[in-house]
Structure 1
Amino acid sequence: MALCKLPTPNSQLPTPNSKRCHWCGNDPLYIKYHDKEWGKPVYDDKILFEFLVLEGAQAGLSWITILRRREGYRKAFAGFDVHKVAAFSEKAVERLMQDETIIRNRLKINSAINNAKLFIEIQKEFGSFADFIWAYLPNKRPLVNDFKNGGIPARTEISDAIAKDMKKRGFKFFGTTICYAFMQATGMVNDHVIGCVAR
């Protein structure tokens, strides 16, 4: 998959019995996402926009529910081309409301379009969305936490600050909890537990 950070030819792929963060369980899709994407730093605006849409869609649902619809979202939202999504019309919204491959929630669909417009505004202001979002971290480097088997937070002071800023800018479905999940997904924080093969 294009979004996955693939291993180099000399790297070791995790084995089925390797130790992983408990949340990914035994679902092959979840394991693949955990091993190759979760916690890996993302500086590409297109991928950051994808996770912005997906995390907003996930609100109130499980992440695996969204992962299983990821390809549907990719097709429905123009390959996550932010300019195309920002230009979606009311007719496009009605089309999406009939699309069984995504979560058919009008508020979430409209928020994705709204957020696309605001995403572009941030790009114009800061040069890229990545420059804006990563500036919240010291030296724009990932925060690597040292959790063992639990205690991973649902929010932090940094996610509070980012969510507050984005809310002020008009973003929807991006409160501090969703923001922290976004930070984990895009590698702004590495919350793989100590001993995890993907750490």
Structure 2
Amino acid sequence: MLTRFFLAIAAMAIVVVSSNYLVSIPVDVQLGMFDLKEILTWGAFTYPFAFLVTDLTNRHFGPKSTRIVVLVGFSLAVYLSLKLANPRIAVASGSAFLIAQLLDVSIFDRLRNGVWWQAPLISSGIASVIDTAIFFTLAFAPAFVGIDQFFNQADTSLGFGVPFLSVGAEVPLYISLAAGDMLVKMLMVFALLAPFNLLRRVIADRQVVSNAAA
């Protein structure tokens, strides 16, 4: 049991480390009229795995233990952001991660006894929206430049205009990036239902374990 718990922590650590690195790398690809570097970062493809780890941990260990895994991930997110980026990014990354993951834990636990796909789909979907909104707003919106000023850092705001999702009306870059990030995260939420369904067959449900032990 303890080994599985540390495996969950290790899995979360891998996701957080890779996502914090990849979120700074735009997808520098041109697909017809779409310039993806104004829409996406590679972190959008890796971060949703954090919700997969959280949901499987919640299913096996319950919300109390899952919150410990989330707090470890939160600590890593803040530490790595401080090392790899500026304090404003660290504040945005840590805040978004902690709030979204704890929300995911609560929603999943409420829905866990329904149809198998309902809890991971709804909890990860809602949490992804919250995570994206908090991160991109705190990290890049000009309204929060005061965070940079507080830490005496260069302004990280991305308020200059670009076509929305590379084809629409002009909007601040951080809004286009947030929208592209959200689209990919939603696709990943659906895609990760397949590994969740596979892994739930080999990772025991805590209720099944409790009933067997009774």
* Shorter-chain TM band: 0.3 to 0.5
Q: Larger C-alpha radius of gyration, 1 or 2?
A: 2
The two structures have a TM-score, normalised by structure 2, of: 0.30
* Bigger relative contact order, structure 1 or 2 (CA pairs below 8 A, ≥6 apart): 1
Question: Larger % of helix: which?
Answer: 2
